[in-house]
Structures are given as C-alpha cells and as structure tokens.
Amino acid sequence: MTAALPSSPPAAGAAKRQFLHDAAEHVRDVGHREFVRRALGGYYTSRDTQKARYRDWEQARDAASMAKWSAVNRLDELLPRFEAAFTANGGQVHWARDAEEARRIVLELLATAKAKAVIKSKCMTSEEIHLNQALEADGYGVVESDLGEFIQQLRGEPPYHFVFPCMHVRRDEISDLFGQHLGTPPTDSPEELTMIARRHMRRLYVDADVGITGANFLVAETGQISITENEGNARLTAALPRMHIAIAGIEKVVERLDDLAVLLPMLATAGAGQPMTCYNTLYAGPRREGEADGPEEMHLVLLDNSRTALLADAEQRDALHCIRCGACLNVCPIFKNVGGFTYGTTYQGPIGSVITPHLRGLKEWNHLSGASSLCGACTDACPVRIDIHHHLLHNRRNAARSSPDRLERIGQKLFAAVARRPWLFATGGWLFRKTLGLAKAIRPPVLSAWLATRDLPPAPAQSFRAAWKRRQR
C-alpha cells in the first residue's frame, strides 16, 4: 500500500530529471492547477479574517520567531532539560542519529510490546524516516487515523501537502475509494464521508497495541509533548493503545509552556486560517495510578537526521524554526503550478526546497532551490519569519561553489568578456536582433526546451542604448 523502502541512493541526477518531468506534466494539467487554486481559495479568506483579529500580527510574528530563535540557539541546554522532565514524568527518550536508527528503535519497541497492530496519527517525521514501509516490511498492520492520511494510505500515495495531505483529491474520488476498500455506498456528503472513516477507525483504536504520533512542540520546562489537531484522532491514538510512541525532530523543543500561547494560535492561523486548532493536548507521560485512561508506556524518539548539521550553519540555522504550518506552500506560485508530488520529498514547497538539500544532500537536491520565482511570498507568509527565499539563494550559491557547472562557468566568462567591451556588446546585440527571427523559424536545439512552452517575442527594432540616446535628444 505504501512505496517501497529506499534501499540505495538514487542514480545521480535522477531526482532532478524526475522533478523536471513531473513539473512539465503538472504545469500542462490545467484541471489540476484549477483544482488546487480553488482548494486554496477558502484558505486565503479565512487566514486573512483570522489575521485581522490579532491586535498586531507583525508583532505576534516577532514573538513567535523569538520563541523559536531562543530555543533553537539553546538546543544543547533545552534538550537535556526536556529529557530530564519527560523522564521524571514517566516517559522514555530515545535519541536517533538518522532515519535508520529511528526505524530500528521503533521496531525494537514494537517487539518489546509484542505488538501486532499499530495505529498512527499524522506524523511527518515518520514520513521522513519511511516508517510505514519499515513496519509493513516487518509484518505489522499499520493504519493512518488522520482522515487525509488515511485517504492517502488507501490511494497508496504519500501526502501531497504536509498539512493538507489529500487536498488534490476530489470528493467523488474519495467516495469511490471508500466504496472500493470499505464497501460503502457512494455519497457526495463530506459529513458522511467523515463518518464512514470514523466508523471504520473506532474498532482499530481499541485493537491497536501501539499508537504512534508526531509532536508539534516539546516543552522543556514541563517535559510535555504538545500535539495540535482537528479530528481528535491523535488523542485516541495516544490514549487507547498500551504503548504510545511519539517521533519528533530535535528542533521541536521550546523552553516554556508560555511559548505555546503564541505558537499554537500562529500555527493554526497561518496554516489553516483557524483561530485555534480544535484539539490542543499536552501529554505528560504514561497513565498514572488512579487515572482512567492513557498508555502503560510512553516513548519519544528524538530525531537528528542532519538537523545538527543545519544547526551548525549559522546562515541558514533559522530554517529549524519551522513549525510546519504549511503557509509558505499555500502562497507559493511554484507549488500551485507543479503540485506537491513533483517535489519528490517529505517536505514540499519553499521550506522543503530549503531543508531537503540539507537533509538529503545538496548535490542531488539543489534543483529544488532553483525552482523558485524568488518572489518572497513564502517569507512574507511565514509566521516565524524564516528568510525562506534568501535561503534558496544560499543553497544555489553553495551548490555552485561545491560543484560548479563547467558549461555555466564558460558561459559566464564569455559574457563577462563581451560585457566589458562596449563595442563587442553592441555588435552582439545587433547580431542577436538580426538573427532572432531566424532562430524562431529553425528552432535550434539549444532553445527547444524554452520554446516548447513559450512564444519568442519579436526582436526590438533598436538597442536600449540607441533608444535612450534618441530619448535624450
């Protein structure tokens, strides 16, 4: 039901070739673009309504950014503090250097619990480590309990968008999917579709031995895990099975409970246009004596997976401030045209393009930083003020320094030689204007990719310098 566990790194340049191929396909798909545009239409209205309710949205952004800045710059102090408080609450912390270690820890915990069935709520970190594939390969039944993730699991697809996993799927497609997998009659009612999933899920919560969740924030002062959600499924996932395993990146830690007072509403407003997400729960360890519900054991897998390398990069460290609200995806013209799957990454859109080269290698994933109009809409939308579009430029610069493209360098040297000689530059311009029509007619291979989707505009009658001189006269 899910894609195979990656066993070896992809061939050099494969990710870029796939990206270019998929982007070209999606850009031509006007229906898909229109559907995504309409799906986001309601979001813009509600986001702006909710933002207007803040006395000063910009100051709230400053406060949210400061809370994350302060935590990310003191991870060495806050993570041990969190671990001590979480352990005192009865939980256990497991440190994972990379995806493989995190998968191994989870599989060992499942073996200790003699688990058979696992239920999950939304957890992008588990997508990052390809956990479902590893669990299924070991024979565990895994069910996603978040409605969007459940739909994607039935479709055999990864999330399309890390906040709205199935935003590209039409209602009638969901109805058909449920009919095919759950044997339910067709319906066009969103409420009925939700009820179908809910009825199917109820039994699974009770039968599951282990519940796996993500974490939105880890509070160092209290040792609590904060999870924010709209469906209540994470609460059931954490509370009903015998064992609760949460998986989170190390950058999720914040210092104080008070920090959530600004971060939770900002996350809801920027991400989904809500004043607050429906359920905001703090988990402080397993069930205690006298308590009616809760798991017998609670574990937290704290994942590094190249985050400390990003932390060491003072220029781009603030990418670790990300609270995964998805606002930058929702405003990105590239995302809206090429769609979520084209990125081929766990984290799509502008922030995905910034962090994926750090998580998975600059050489193979730098093309994502090139896929940007650099309009800065992402930076403007970010509730924690990450300088997203400049980080795309930083990635481009770092890639050019670490593995320069010979052809590009030759081209730049040639251009520099011409641009330094005004007479040569003017002659080149004249030649260009004279031959542009010819190029349009014969379509040389060097221009074919560009001309495939664009018309060549007619050449101007005179150069800019000639026009300027005339104007001065």
Contact residues toward ligand SF4 (CB under 6 A) are 270, 322-328, 351, 381-384, 386, 388
* Cβ closest to ligand SF4, residue 177 vs residue 351: 351
* Cβ closest to ligand SF4, residue 215 vs residue 386: 386
Residue 214 C-beta: closest distance to ligand SF4, Å: 14
Instruction: Give the span between the Cα atoms of 171 and 98, in whole angstroms.
Output: 38
* Cβ closest to ligand SF4, residue 286 vs residue 326: 326
Residue 353 C-beta: closest distance to ligand SF4, Å: 10
* Cβ closest to ligand SF4, residue 18 vs residue 46: 46
* Cβ closest to ligand SF4, residue 326 vs residue 357: 326
Quickly tell me which residue has 């040569």 as its tokens: 424
Quickly tell me which residue has 């593995």 as its tokens: 403
* Cβ closest to ligand SF4, residue 61 vs residue 299: 61
* Cβ closest to ligand SF4, residue 299 vs residue 321: 321
Residue 382 C-beta: closest distance to ligand SF4, Å: 3
* Cβ closest to ligand SF4, residue 214 vs residue 223: 214
Residue 351 C-beta: closest distance to ligand SF4, Å: 4
Residue 286 C-beta: closest distance to ligand SF4, Å: 31
The DSSP bridge partners found for residue 92 are: 299
Radius of gyration over every alpha carbon of the chain, rounded to an integer in angstroms: 25
* Cβ closest to ligand SF4, residue 219 vs residue 382: 382
Selection from 15, 8, 49 nearest residue 273 by Cα? 49
Residue 339 C-beta: closest distance to ligand SF4, Å: 17
Residue 260 C-beta: closest distance to ligand SF4, Å: 15
Instruction: Give the span between the Cα atoms of 262 and 278, in whole angstroms.
Output: 16
Residue 322 C-beta: closest distance to ligand SF4, Å: 3
Residue 388 C-beta: closest distance to ligand SF4, Å: 6
Selection from 284, 217, 286 nearest residue 254 by Cα? 217
Q: Which residues in 281-311 are b (16+ Cβ under 10 Å) and which e?
A: bebbbbbeeeeeebbebbbbbbbbbbbeebb
Residue 29 C-beta: closest distance to ligand SF4, Å: 25
Residue 386 C-beta: closest distance to ligand SF4, Å: 5
* Cβ closest to ligand SF4, residue 109 vs residue 359: 359
Instruction: Give the span between the Cα atoms of 147 and 246, in whole angstroms.
Output: 19
Residue 331 C-beta: closest distance to ligand SF4, Å: 8
Q: What is the 3-state secondary structure (H, E, C) of the chain?
A: CCCCCCCCCCCCCHHHHHHHHHHHHHHHCHHHHHHHHHHHHHHHHHHHHHHHCCCCHHHHHHHHHHHHHHHHCCHHHHHHHHHHHHHHCCCEEEEECCHHHHHHHHHHHHHHCCCCEEEECCCHHHHHCCHHHHHHHCCCEEEECCHHHHHHHHHCCCCCCCCCCCCCCCHHHHHHHHHHHHCCCCCCCHHHHHHHHHHHHHHHHHHCCEEEECCCEEECCCCEEEEEECCCHHHHHHHCCCEEEEEEEHHHEECCCCHHHHHHHHHHHHHHCCCCCCEEEEECCCCCCCCCCCCCEEEEEEECCCHHHHHCCCCCHHHHHCCCCCHHHHHCHHHHHHCCHHHCCCCCHHHHHHHHHHHHCHHHHCHHHHCCCCCCHHHHHCCCCCCHHHHHHHHHHHHHHHCCCHHHHHHHHHHHHHHCCHHHHHHHHHHHHHHHHHHHHHCCHHHHHHHCCCCCCCCCCCCHHHHHHHHHC
* Cβ closest to ligand SF4, residue 2 vs residue 372: 372
* Cβ closest to ligand SF4, residue 211 vs residue 326: 326
